[in-house]
Amino acid sequence: MPELPEVETIKESLQGIVGLTIENIDIIRPDYIRLWENQPADYMGQQISAITRRGKYLIFETTGQLYLTAHLGMSGRIYFEPRGKEREKHVHVVLELSNEQELWFQDARRFGGLWLVKHLHHMFRTMGVEPLSRSFNARHLEHLLRNRRVAIKTLLLNQRVISGIGNIYADEALYKAGIRPDRPAGSLQPVEVQRLCKAIKQVLRSGIEQRGTSLRDYQDGFKQKGSFQDHLKVYGHQDQPCPRCQQPLVRQVINGRSSHFCPSCQK
């Protein structure tokens, strides 16, 4: 599933469409649109003024202050194709742009979607802090974890607490910080919270530098894959030796999500 670094990479790869006009929105599967605060016709003739990211969502903004937000779910892809090309399978929505290009929204499993949004603040009102923002620091994280009995891994995945972290980067951050994923969140000592805050920022930044993790479907707007999968230390590495202590890594399901960790390095 695309997480913050993948969505950030897609966002960067799409910046070339800022300034272009939306000539048409072709909605092939209406049920892929999750919210209809605006009608597709409202966007026609609008110029795209910005593409930003919030958590795992991409936000397209027009000069008329209409928003189109996208979530990639498990297998979603957003990429450019020349106008007139025969549509591929599972392409549910197409933006026809003024430079003879099209932006295709493809999603085989359809866990993602598009929102035609009027009130952006309303859509994101319950979303947690951005982990790469300045306001996310050890003090803030300590406050978020205080008295929480839920496993730290589960809390890191809760988008209402911290936005953008998924299974891969949660496992990698906890390994880097030396913390077991099943520890109750509130049991972390101040020094551990500091290590975890730093580790979260480091793994997310490395993920962005490597242009994301391409284990299955993920690619950017130009169909380029990322390379962070070559730098993963624990995710998907069960039964392989820990890079630090050489003991075998384990995989354990925690609250329904598979977690990978080193039982000897992570306390």
Distance CA(114)–CA(102), nearest Å, equals: 16
Judged by CB under 5 A, the residue of 36, 111, 245, 255 near Zn ion is: 245
Q: Are 234 and 32 in contact (CB under 8 A)?
A: no
Distance CA(1)–CA(164), nearest Å, equals: 11
Q: Whose Cβ is closer to Zn ion: residue 77's or residue 176's?
A: 176
Distance CA(267)–CA(260), nearest Å, equals: 13
Angle (deg, nearest 10), helices 167-177 and 190-209: 130
Question: Is 2 noted as a catalytic residue in this protein?
Answer: yes
Cα–Cα separations (whole angstroms), residue 67 to 39, 48, 59, 220: 11, 9, 7, 21
The active-site residue out of 29, 34, 257, 263 is 257
Span interacting with Zn ion, options 90-98, 119-127, 187-195, 236-244, rule CB under 5 A: 236-244
Question: Is 183 noted as a catalytic residue in this protein?
Answer: no
Question: Is 184 noted as a catalytic residue in this protein?
Answer: no
Edge-to-edge order in the sheet of strand 48-54: 33-36, 113-117, 67-71, 57-62, 48-54
Q: Is 262 near Zn ion (CB under 5 A)?
A: yes
Span interacting with Zn ion, options 19-27, 85-93, 148-156, 234-242, rule CB under 5 A: 234-242
Chain positions 181 to 210 lying near Zn ion, rule: CB under 5 A, are none
Question: Is 3 noted as a catalytic residue in this protein?
Answer: yes
Q: Whose Cβ is closer to Zn ion: residue 138's or residue 265's?
A: 265
Judged by CB under 5 A, the residue of 14, 68, 234, 242 near Zn ion is: 242
Q: Are 93 and 27 in contact (CB under 8 A)?
A: yes
Q: Is 244 near Zn ion (CB under 5 A)?
A: yes
Q: Whose Cβ is closer to Zn ion: residue 31's or residue 239's?
A: 239
* Residue ranges in contact with Zn ion by CB under 5 A: 242, 244-245, 262, 264-265
Where in the sequence numbering do the catalytic residues fall?
Answer: 2-3, 56, 257
